[in-house]
Structure 1
Amino acid sequence: MSGGPSWNVLKGRKDGGVSKANETINLPAPTFNVSQLIQSFAKRGLGVKDLVALSGGHTLEFSHCSSFESWLRNFSSVHDVDPTMNNEFAQKLRNKCPKPNRDTTAGELFYSTSSTFDNNYYKQLVAGKGVFGSDQALFSDYRTRWIVESFAKDQSVFFKEFAGSMVNLGNVGLIEDGEVRLNCRAVN
């Protein structure tokens, strides 16, 4: 409903019978650096371009303060705020997430076009306005920076790569003893 790329979903994938919250503990953390992100994706058979393309899904996200506060205050012994972050943007986030923060719902829409699937996420990274440290790290590291720049420059390139990476992601963790669901919302 918000536009964006499309792709053919492979049919016949087997789904498990249960979904467990504790299985999400192996997802990449918002504090990961690029080496940790690359390693996390590689464990699942996904490459560097998949990492950068799938991160673009954050263009539609909202995040609570607790997910990004670590790089707004006491970032290191030398810097209070992550030096790769745009100073004005950092101050805006600090104002939204004061210490102590009594508003547990406080947070930030990732990007100004958060209701539209577009390449604005990458444009914001180029401007030093990534919400997560792991997002901004994609622009700071030579292994991923060129991909971020190409996606920021050309939305159609991002859409093409995102669609391909979604197909790749759909092949991660195939289940041998699951079932092909007749109704995707319920087990058979």
Structure 2
Amino acid sequence: MAAATVAVFVAACPCPVGSADPTSESPPFPIGQMGVPVHARAASGATADITVNSATWFPPGCASHFASPTDGSACNVVELTITATSHRFFQFDRNHVFAGYGGGNQPWTHPDDAPRPATLAVDFQRLDKMPPLQSGGLQDGQSAHGFVGFVMPTAGDLYITINDPEQPAPYTEAGLIVHT
């Protein structure tokens, strides 16, 4: 009888359920890490596996402005491989890849750390990180490989988001967490 009373109390308990931090962000997109493919889905239904092959931080002087090195501009450079897993074209574009340091209970959209877009200001050739990722579409097992660079002051945990270039509003296909 005592067990039945406890079961009724537990079932009727107004106790909170869920995570210990109710404000923590649970993104609506798949999350991957270095070396492990993450299965991404575009708004169109096209799919691809996206893998971070390497991530490196470079000290100031790695970025340039009109071929002149920019003092004080450190860089994070991330190597990506995108492999289409559907017949429908999976579109990608380096201009739709972003990185931030995250932190707190909202690492993907931290209010004090706006994500930085990938940029061609990073001197990929001088850093021996070629080729830079371009843009295009893949299907049926086709792959694209390249580097994306971010002008960021320090190394650390990077929260990278890859957005669907076909959508006018940000539609995140995948998130990746890497350390530089």
Q: TM-score range by the shorter chain?
A: under 0.3
Bigger RCO of structures 1 and 2 (CA < 8 A, at least 6 apart): 1
- Give the TM-score normalised by the residue count of structure 2: 0.23
User: Which structure has the highest strand share of the two?
Assistant: 2
Greater Rg over alpha carbons, structure: 2
User: Which structure has the highest helix share of the two?
Assistant: 1
